[in-house]
Each structure stands twice: as structure tokens, then as C-alpha cells.
Amino acid sequence: MLTAPDGQAALAAAVVESPNLIVTDWMMPRMDGVGLCRQLKDDAATADIPVVMLSAASPSPPAEPLWNVFLPKPTPIARLIEVIRTLLKGRGSSAPAHAFER
């Protein structure tokens, strides 16, 4: 498991480490979660990494899919684990799941 103190560090770690999945928050210093997701999707090396956006912010869904699942805080840990397992199982499929929960 990798952790990063801000969005820029998370992006740098994702490029170097190529994680199987990313869980991020919307509100982070130096680069917010939306900026992180945009940069991940713009880079062929990281574009296919599934992303869970976990945040207390209540944004509207973006026009283009930047993350696979949005979970509002607080989210029960069992729900987060279920979402992670589902995304990791589907990592090899051509059509990623996209969900936006409130």
C-alpha cells in the first residue's frame, strides 16, 4: 500500500509504482482529486488504473468519467472494501464500471 500527502505526490507515485487501484479524496493540498484524476486519465501509463473518489464534498458528476466510483464520506468500511474488490476483479475487463453514490 502506498500513501501520499497531496495530489502531486500521489500522481508521482502512481506514475512510478503503477498501482492496481487508487483511493483518493476530492480535497487535497497542491492538487485536488479532480486534478489528480484528470492527469491520471491523460497519461497512457496511468489511464487504466481504477480510481475511487472518497470525499465529503458533494460535487456533481463530471462530464467525462474521471473516476470509477464516487463514495461520500462517511462511507462504511465494508462498502469501500466491496467497491475495491469489485474494481480489482474487473480490472482486466474492457468496460470499467462507473458509479456515483450519494
Domain-embedded: residue 2:
no
Task: Say which CATH number the domain at 74 has.
Answer: 3.40.50.2300
Q: Is the pLDDT of residue 30 over 50?
A: yes
Domain-embedded: residue 1:
no
Domain-embedded: residue 48:
yes
The answer to whether 100 touches 61, Cβ cutoff 8 Å, is yes
Kindly provide the b/e burial profile for residues 81-92, where b requires at least 16 CB atoms within 10 angstroms of the residue's own CB.
eebbeebeeeee
Which range marks the domain in which residue 14 is found?
A: 7-100
In this prediction the pTM is 0.86
Tens digits of residue pLDDT in 55-101: 998 767 778 889 999 999 999 999 999 999 999 998 755 444 555 55
Domain-embedded: residue 79:
yes
Tens digits of residue pLDDT in 57-68: 876 777 888 999
